[in-house]
A = this chain, B = another copy of it.
């Protein structure tokens, strides 16, 4: 029918019912050329301003968490006061601009291989994530 057919399938495949609200949120999150980072607050704003649909805040929370659980979103922790989500769920790292508080992707190939020489006993490495904090040169 349209772009949404894909999303309907995507949701159905993961056991989530394709509701109006979830499809709208899919459009906002996944119908873009580039992946991006957002906070729940950002997402609520986008829905309010750009999409002619009123979605309850509780539903936004529910949906984001459901999508995260299904692996359609990734949560990124930079500092205690903001929780970011990432529509890029592939293994990749991040730059965090401390001047502007911006989060920027750093792809696997932009970083040398990381070798863990000593692991915690009896455990397997599940993920390795690097956070590179950057700042302007001209300040102390």
Interface residues of A (CB under 8 A from B): 75, 77-80, 83, 95, 97-99, 104, 106, 109-120, 122-137
Contact = CB atoms under 8 A, between A and B. Distances in A.
Given A77-B77, A77-B78, A79-B77, A125 B117 contact: no
Which residue, of A120, A124, A131, has the highest number of chain B Cβ atoms within 10 A? Answer: A120
Given A110-B116, A112-B117, A123-B137, 19 more contacts: A75-B80, A77-B77, A77-B80, A95-B120, A97-B123, A106-B116, A109-B117, A110-B118, A111-B117, A112-B115, A125-B134, A126-B134, A128-B130, A128-B131, A128-B132, A128-B133, A129-B130, A129-B131, A130-B130
- Which secondary structure characterizes the binding site on chain A? strand
A109 to B, nearest CB: 7
B124 A137 contact: yes
A113 B130 CA distance: 12
The number of times this chain is found in the oligomer is 2
When A and B form their complex, which 3 residue pairs have the shortest distance between CB atoms, in order from nearest? Answer: A112-B115, A123-B134, A80-B83
B133 A126 contact: yes
A136 to B, nearest CB: 6
